[in-house]
Amino acid sequence: MRGSKALLELLEQQGVDVMFGIPGGTTMPIYDDLLDSNLRHVLVRHEQCAAHMADGYARATGRIGVCCSTSGPGATNMVTGVATAFVDSSPLLAITGQVNTPAIGNQAFQEGDSFSLMMPVTKHNYRILDPKDLPEAVVRGMAIATNGRYGPVHIDLPMDAMTGDVPDEMMGYKYSVDPHPEDLSALPEAIKVLKSAERPLIMVGGGCVWAGAHQEILRLAETLMAPITTTLMGKSVVPETHPLALGLIGMHGRECTRRAYMECDVLLAVGTRFSDRSTGKNDLSETAKIVHVDIDPGEAGKSPKTEVRLVGDAKKALNAIIQGLGASRGDTPWSKRMAEMRAFCDCDIDIMDPPIKPQKIIHELNELIPENAMVTTEVGQNQMWAAHLFKVKSPRQFISSGGFGTMGFGFPAALGVKVAYPDRPVVDIAGDGSIQMVIQEFATAVSEDLPVMVVIMNNGWLGMVKQWQKLFKDKRYSGTQLKDNPDFVKLAEGYGAEGVRVERPSELREALQRGLKSDVPFLVDVITDPEEDVLPMVPAGKGADHVIQGRCKWKSSKW
Amino acid sequence: MEVVQVVGRDSQGLCQRVFIELVRRKIMVETAVMGKKEGKMVMILGLNNLPGKGKTLFALKAIPDVISAEWLNARVKCTWEAVPQDGSVFDISKSMNEKGNMSF
C-alpha cells in the first residue's frame, strides 16, 4: 500500500484516534487518504497549535498525541509546540511533510531541513528516504516517545515516500526499543535515610504525573507524615485539599512550602529535575539530605546534596520505598508544625474591592468548577496566579507549559483536552497578551464543536514582564503595555463563539457560570487590576531567603 | 581535553544527534574520529569545557540508538583510512583503555 495510507493504518494500529493538523502541498497524499480513514482529524489554524493540541491531549490522557504539518513553514511553525512538549516530557508524534527526495537539498519550494530543526527538541526523529522504513519509524518512534522519560518523536516524510509502496509484510513487524535504564540498588539506603528523617519533605514533579504515581505519593506521605510540595509540572499529582499537601514550590510558590523547604532535614524529590524555577539556588539547610528518584539517569542525583540516587519509574520506586518503610509513624512535631503553617498560609486580599483582582478569578473557579473539570493556563502572571491559588482536586487536572514557558499554549492545549474528554468542562486561564498569540483557534473550537471556556485576565499589559520591570528595573516600562487591545468578546463572536466582558467583581461569578454551561466556546474577558503583582516571589538567581512577600499574613506573624 | 567513546547503531542522524546533545550542554567538540565498525558507528571525541562528566555519559546513553558511552582514560590512537571506492569505509585501528586492553 502507498506510504500515506500505511502511515494512517499504522497510527490506527497503535491506538491513535485523533490527529491535529493542517494540510499543505507536501501532505496532500495523507489528507487524501484521511478521507478513507477512521482517524479523526482536527483542522487547526496554525501548526504551532496542532502541536499544543496534541500536547494537551497527551497531558490529559497520558497517551501519545499526534500532530501533522506540511514542509517548510509548516514544520518551522510546529517547532515551538514540539519544543514545549520536549521540555515538559510530553509524548508526541510530530509528522511533517517534505519535498520529494530528489529535491531535498536544492532549496525546493517549501523545503526546510526539518530533520535537523527538530533534532534538538525531540527524543528522536526519522527522515524517511525509503517507504519501507515507514513502519519502523511509526511503531518504534511511538515506543520511544512513551518509554522512559517521555518526549516527542518526529517523522519527516517526503512526498515520494507517501506515494511509494510500503510492502504489506512490513506492516505487521514488531519493533522494539531498549528498556530504559533502571538502578534501584540504593533502595535500602533510601529507606534508611527516610526512616531517620525528623523533618521529611516530599517534592513532587511532573514525572509522577506521567508515571501515574498519585496514590503512591499520598501513601508515602501518610506513612512518613511528610508534607508534599509540588513543582508546576507536578501540581496535578495530589489533591491540594489533602492535609499534607502544601501546594506549589518555587519562584512563586506558597510561603509555607518555602519555609518547609528551608527547614526540612530530608528532601525526597520524585520525578523532578530541580529546575531553576522550582528550587532556585537549591539552598536547603546545610545538613539536609536529598533522596532523588527520577526515570532519567541524567537528572537523578542532579543536586550536589543528593545522598541517595534512584533511577527508575516513580510508581515502582515509591511502592518499593513504601514497603520498606512499614507502618505510618503517626503525627510528629514536624507534621503538626506543617499543619499549622498550612492553615496559616493565606493571602490578605479583599477580593471584593474593585478593580477586579486576578486572585478573585481563581477563587471563583475553585468554588465553581466541578472535580472532573480540566484547567489549562497560558504563560505569565495568569499562569502563576493559577498555579499558586487554584486547588487541584483530581489527577492531571492542571495543565501548563512549565519548562519552555510558551505563551499561547493554554488555549490550544485546552482544545486538545476537550477532544480527549468531551464531557468534562475545560477552562483555559489566559492573559490578554498570550491569548492574542493563538486566538485564531476559536475557529477550530467552533468548527470542531469544542466548547471550552477561556477566561482572560485582561490587565492591558504583558504583566509578568511589567512586574519584573517594576520590581527590578525601577519601573522603566519598555514594550510591555498592550495598547489598543481588541474587543475580545466581539472577536470571539466573530468566530461564532460567545463571550461576556466583566468589569466589576459582582459580575464575575455569573459570567463564569454562564461560560461553564455554554454549549459553544465561550470567552470571559475580565478587566483586572493592572497594578496587581504575583507575589510572593523569589527573584531569579536568588536563594529562597530573598523572598519578596506579597500581601500575605506572614509579614506580621509569630512565625 | 577529555576523550569519550560513543558506540551506536548505524542509524540516520546518530552522529548529528550526539553533537547536538554535547553542544546543548556547552561542551565543545575539539576533535572527532568517526567510523563504522562491524555494523556499528564508533565515535571518538575530544571534548572541552566539560561541566559534569557523569551527567554527560548519562545524556549520551539516553540518545536512542546509542549503545554505549564511556570515557577513555589512557592513550588513544586512531588511524583513519578512507577508501573512496568502498564508500565510507573507515578503520579505527588502535585504542587502549586504562587496563591496556583493546576496547574495540
Indicate if A212 and A157 belong to the same structural domain.
Answer: no
Phi, psi (rounded to 5 degrees) for A322: -60, -45
What per-residue confidence (pLDDT) applies to A143? 96
Of the candidates A258, A263, A297, A295, the one whose C-alpha atom is nearest the C-alpha of residue A278 is: A258
Query: In the predicted model, what is the mean pLDDT of chain A?
Result: 94
Indicate if A254 and A364 belong to the same structural domain.
Answer: no
Indicate if A290 and A404 belong to the same structural domain.
Answer: no
Cα–chain center distance at A510: 29
Of the candidates A146, A149, A141, the one whose C-alpha atom is nearest the C-alpha of residue A10 is: A141
Question: Residue A559 — pLDDT band, cuts 50, 70, 90?
Answer: low
Sheet holding A266-270, edge to edge: A245-248, A228-230, A200-204, A266-270, A289-294, A306-311
Nearest-neighbour CA in chain A from B82: distance (Å):
25
Q: What CATH number did the domain enclosing A331 receive? A: 3.40.50.1220
- Look at residue A552 and tell me if it is in a domain: no
- Look at residue A557 and tell me if it is in a domain: no
Look at B58 and A119 and tell me if their CB atoms are within 8 Å. Answer: no
Encode A105-144: b = buried (16+ Cβ within 10 Å), e = exposed: eeebebbbbbbebbbebbbbbbbbeebbbbbebbbbbbbb
- DSSP letter (8 states) at residue B35: E
CB A546 within 8 A of CB A539: yes
Q: Three-state DSSP class for A541?
A: coil
**pLDDT tens readout for residues A251-265:** 888 988 988 999 999
Indicate if A10 and A88 belong to the same structural domain.
Answer: yes
Contacts of B64 in chain A (CB under 8 A): 123-124, 144, 177
What per-residue confidence (pLDDT) applies to A555? 61
- Look at residue A142 and tell me if it is in a domain: yes
Percentage, residues of chain A above pLDDT 70: 98
Alpha helix segments (H runs only) across A303-409: 314-325, 333-344, 358-368, 381-389
All three cell numbers of A106, joined, read: 536544492
- Look at residue A362 and tell me if it is in a domain: yes
Burial of B76: CB neighbours in 10 Å, binned 0-12, 13-18, 19+: middle
Indicate if A332 and A364 belong to the same structural domain.
Answer: no
Q: Is B7 in the A-facing interface, judged by CB distances under 8 Å?
A: no
Supply the ipTM of this predicted assembly.
0.84
Look at B13 and A127 and tell me if their CB atoms are within 8 Å. Answer: yes
Phi, psi (rounded to 5 degrees) for A337: -65, -45
Compute mean pLDDT per 10 residues along chain B, 104 residues long, and list them: 91 93 92 85 88 80 92 76 65 56 50
Phi, psi (rounded to 5 degrees) for A135: -55, -45
Indicate if A240 and A375 belong to the same structural domain.
Answer: no
Query: Which residue from A119, A123, A297 is facing B16, i.e. has the nearest CB?
Result: A119
pTM of the model: 0.94
- Look at residue A551 and tell me if it is in a domain: no
- Look at residue A544 and tell me if it is in a domain: no
Indicate if A144 and A232 belong to the same structural domain.
Answer: no
Whole-number Å distance between alpha carbons of A511 and A433: 21
DSSP H or E stretch at residue A311: strand A306-311
Distances A244 to A174, A338, A339, A387, A529 between C-alpha atoms, Å: 45, 8, 7, 18, 33
Look at B64 and A119 and tell me if their CB atoms are within 8 Å. Answer: no
Question: Residue A481 — pLDDT band, cuts 50, 70, 90?
Answer: very high
Q: Is B55 in the A-facing interface, judged by CB distances under 8 Å?
A: yes
Q: Three-state DSSP class for A92?
A: strand
Q: What CATH number did the domain enclosing A141 receive? A: 3.40.50.970
Distances A380 to A85, A537, A547, A559 between C-alpha atoms, Å: 18, 13, 19, 30
- DSSP letter (8 states) at residue A549: -
Q: Is A119 in the B-facing interface, judged by CB distances under 8 Å?
A: yes
- DSSP letter (8 states) at residue A356: B
Please count the structural domains in chain A. Answer: 3
Interface test with A, best of B21, B53, B58, B65 (most A CBs within 10 A): B58
Which residue reads 464531557 in cell numbers? A423
Indicate if A266 and A328 belong to the same structural domain.
Answer: yes
Strand partners, B21: none
What per-residue confidence (pLDDT) applies to A486? 97
Indicate if A14 and A140 belong to the same structural domain.
Answer: yes
Percentage, residues of chain A above pLDDT 90: 84
Nearest-neighbour CA in chain A from B70: distance (Å):
14
Strand partners, A461: A481
What per-residue confidence (pLDDT) applies to B94? 54
What per-residue confidence (pLDDT) applies to A511? 98
**pLDDT tens readout for residues A490-504:** 999 999 999 999 999
What is the domain range of residue A294? 187-344
CB A382 within 8 A of CB A408: no
What per-residue confidence (pLDDT) applies to A436? 98
For residue B23, the chain A residue with the least C-alpha distance is: A120
Question: Does residue A59 carry a pLDDT above 80?
Answer: yes
**pLDDT tens readout for residues A134-187:** 999 999 999 999 999 999 999 999 999 999 999 999 998 888 888 888 999 999
- Look at residue A109 and tell me if it is in a domain: yes
Q: Domains for chain B: give ranges and CATH numbers.
A: 2-74 (3.30.70.260)
> Taking each helix axis from N to C terminus, what angle separates A314-325 and A214-224, rounded to the nearest 10 degrees?
30
Look at A302 and B55 and tell me if their CB atoms are within 8 Å. Answer: yes
Whole-number Å distance between alpha carbons of A295 and A183: 9
Whole-number Å distance between alpha carbons of A58 and B43: 36
Indicate if A289 and A387 belong to the same structural domain.
Answer: no
DSSP H or E stretch at residue A454: strand A453-458
Cα–chain center distance at A241: 21
Indicate if A281 and A328 belong to the same structural domain.
Answer: yes
Question: Does residue A83 carry a pLDDT above 90?
Answer: yes
What per-residue confidence (pLDDT) applies to B104? 47
- Look at residue A546 and tell me if it is in a domain: no
Question: Any idea which of A111-125, A268-282, A485-499 has the lowest mean pLDDT?
Answer: A268-282
DSSP H or E stretch at residue A144: helix A134-145
Q: Domain end: A121, A138, A170, which one? A: A170
What per-residue confidence (pLDDT) applies to B47? 92
Indicate if A105 and A164 belong to the same structural domain.
Answer: yes
